[in-house]
């Protein structure tokens, strides 16, 4: 037990654990929708889209997080605007803005000789440098995430299942899409200090992919993904403490390893169950053994008049 408790005798490790846990819950909730809707590229693009704002904030002496948040919000709004125009597909709009914002950020950075350290922190995170104010900000981001996710849950589900019937059910797909992009933006901005923009997609996807193997309902996926994300933070911090590795990278790598381990374990469990069924003479019942959650959204679609 001392191996687990000794590192957290330091105040900065406690703040890192608390802040990282808040990030894990935010990413668990938002990442579930990112996986269901296939929006992983959006999360990565918004992460890199923060660079111009961070660069300008550094040059002007403004709060770095504020600059990154403004830049991410501008990119999110631009993606929505280009998509609504109908002239570009969603992934094309993201790709163009991804390159454009990243290039603009590099141009700004190239004019600031003192930006190297800040760029490293932006890309890979500084979870061990968290202050009490950062933890409070993450707590506020978590509250906003939970409120928006709860308020738009029905809209997200219906839109993910079939946008064509959304209007029939009294749902506005456009508003749901804006809210979801906003949640992804909040998650990326909130996570950047913990794991950096380069690794944030790992924390958004890894725990959700791991949880996805064992759950069938969206709320349960969020809960399990949040728990696995918290475990990733704990293990990553311990690895960083004892192996002297980068904390943010250790957290993101642990999340990916959890996803891989979950897939392997799920495969073993399925094989054992299939073998037991064959031994019992029920080989044709394989499909009924484990209803994979590939179309969780359709299973969770609320019926007319049900919230």
Contacts of 294 (CB under 8 A, 6+ apart): none
Whether the predicted pLDDT of 166 surpasses 60: yes
What are the angstrom distances between the C-alpha of 73 and each of 39, 49, 77, 79, 271? 16, 9, 6, 10, 46
So what's the pLDDT on residue 307? 42
Give the range with max mean pLDDT: 38-52, 114-128, 133-147, 169-183: 133-147
pLDDT in tens, 287-307: 554 444 444 454 444 443 334
Domains, the chain, ordered by start: 2-299 (1.10.3470)
Lowest mean pLDDT among 122-126, 188-192, 259-263: 122-126
Ramachandran region, residue 125 (left: φ > 0; alpha: ψ -120 to 50; beta: rest): left
pTM of the model: 0.82
pLDDT in tens, 185-228: 888 888 877 787 777 888 899 999 999 999 989 999 999 999 99
Q: Determine the average pLDDT of the residues in 172-195.
A: 83
Percent of the chain's residues with pLDDT above 70: 84
Q: How confident is the model at residue 60 (pLDDT cuts 50, 70, 90)?
A: confident
Distance of alpha carbon 262 from alpha carbon 108, whole angstroms: 42
Taken in order 128, 199, 149, 94, the sign of the CA dihedral is positive
Contacts of 168 (CB under 8 A, 6+ apart): none
């Amino acid at each position: 037990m001392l191996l687990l408790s000794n590192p957290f005798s330091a105040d900065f490790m406690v703040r890192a654990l608390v802040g990282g846990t808040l990030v894990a819950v935010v990413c668990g909730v938002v990442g579930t929708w990112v996986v269901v809707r296939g929006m992983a590229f959006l999360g990565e693009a918004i992460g890199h889209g923060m660079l111009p704002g961070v660069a300008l904030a550094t040059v002007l002496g403004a709060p770095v997080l504020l600059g990154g948040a403004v830049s991410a919000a501008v990119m999110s709004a631009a993606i929505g605007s280009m998509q609504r125009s109908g002239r570009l597909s969603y992934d094309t709009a993201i790709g163009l803005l991804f390159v454009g914002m990243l290039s603009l950020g590099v141009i700004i950075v190239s004019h600031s000789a003192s930006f190297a350290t800040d760029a490293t922190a932006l890309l890979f995170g500084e979870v061990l440098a968290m202050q009490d104010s950062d933890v409070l900000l993450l707590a506020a981001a978590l509250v906003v995430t939970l409120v928006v996710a709860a308020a738009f849950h029905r809209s997200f589900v219906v839109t993910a299942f079939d946008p064509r019937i959304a209007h029939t059910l009294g749902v506005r797909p456009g508003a749901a899409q804006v809210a979801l992009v906003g949640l992804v933006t909040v998650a990326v901005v909130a996570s950047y200090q913990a794991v950096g923009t380069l690794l944030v997609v790992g924390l958004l996807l890894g725990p959700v992919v791991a949880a996805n193997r064992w759950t069938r309902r969206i709320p349960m996926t969020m809960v399990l993904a949040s728990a696995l994300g918290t475990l990733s933070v704990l293990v990553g911090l311990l690895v960083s403490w004892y192996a002297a590795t980068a904390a943010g990278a250790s957290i993101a790598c642990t999340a990916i390893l959890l996803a891989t381990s979950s897939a392997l374990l799920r495969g073993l469990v399925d094989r054992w169950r299939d073998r037991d069924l064959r031994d019992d003479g029920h080989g044709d019942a394989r499909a009924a053994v484990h209803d994979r959650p590939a179309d969780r959204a359709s299973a969770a679609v609320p019926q007319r008049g049900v919230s």
